[in-house]
Amino acid sequence: MSARLKRSLVPALMAPAVLLVAHWFDAGVLVDAQSQAGRTYDPAPLMDLMVVAHVLTAAAAVALALVAWRSRSVFVGVGYVLVGGFLVCLPAIVWAFAVSVDGAPPFAPAPIATTMFGWFTLLATGVTGAVFTIAGGMLLSGLAVIWSILHDRRSVPAVVQE
């Protein structure tokens, strides 16, 4: 396996793993801690976990940005832009196209609207919105990688043939 393929494969496999772990922690561990705090009237464990969640969210976004930057792959950049952009814009897309307003049917066809609304409600169950924050980092990282690759190609002087 070539080094270039490995450098592209790591960010491609790391992104879904990071997003899944962030969603599990945000929508599983923190929601459980939040309900426990509501039952016991002791918010201290929840606050401790919230600090951990915020630090881990920032660390995940930085880690994904670093592996994307190190890959120097336009495919990784485009993938991060598409996935990150979709996840960041998902709430706006759902409310614009997949929700019925004043009894009018949604703009999107029913199967697509139902699927998009399901994804949104699944991701929005978290306490901190970690998935959306990491997706924003992915979007910006992807744009930076693409810009860097395009900038490097423009700054290389053309070879003059004699």
* Alpha-carbon torsion (24, 29, 34, 35), positive or negative: positive
Residues 6+ away with beta carbon under 8 Å from 23:
122, 123, 126, 130, 131
Do residues 135 and 61 touch, judged by C-beta distance below 8 A? no
Domain ranges of the chain: 3-155
Q: How far is CA 42 from the centre of its chain?
A: 32
- pLDDT at site 40: 92
Average pLDDT over residues 45-60: 94
* Band of residue 103 on the pLDDT scale cut at 50, 70, 90: confident
- pLDDT at site 146: 96
Average pLDDT over residues 145-162: 76
pTM for this prediction = 0.86
